[in-house]
Copies of this chain bind each other. A is one copy, B any other.
Amino acid sequence: MKLKHFSEAEELEVTDYGSTETTIRWLVSREKEGAPRFAMRRFELKPGGQIGIHGHPQEHEIYVLSGEGKVFTHFEKHEVKKDDVLYVPPDEPHGYENTGKENLVFLCIIPYLD
């Protein structure tokens, strides 16, 4: 088994899809840990930060660790907070924004499709 603290994973800026004030850490990946089928990432959005709406064939399974914000598609918008769980099915465009005063932090698991 491989064990680490989340902070040992490099923190990278996210700028795709017009995203702002957002970072990602790849906590478990194929490249680093040899995980064959899916990867665990940890996103952190500063207050006012957002990830612009985007879509892809990979589904997401998300757990909110702290903070509060909104998740949205082209058709709906929901408030999310600590300990909420979100499932985004394949090919459903989605985005996130931090509407609170603390950082919005969540785990997002995504499959490798090859």
Contacts and interface: CB of A to CB of B under 8 A. Distances in A.
A62 to B, nearest CB: 9
Contact of A85 (B28, B38, B111): B28
Contact of A1 (B3, B37, B63, B86): B86
A1 B55 CA distance: 12
B84 A3 contact: yes
Interface string A1-24: 111111101000000000000000
A9 to B, nearest CB: 8
Contact of A3 (B33, B37, B71): B71
A85 B40 contact: yes
Interface of A: 1-7, 9, 27-28, 33-38, 40, 59, 61, 63, 65, 71, 73, 76, 78, 80, 83-90, 92, 94, 107, 109, 111
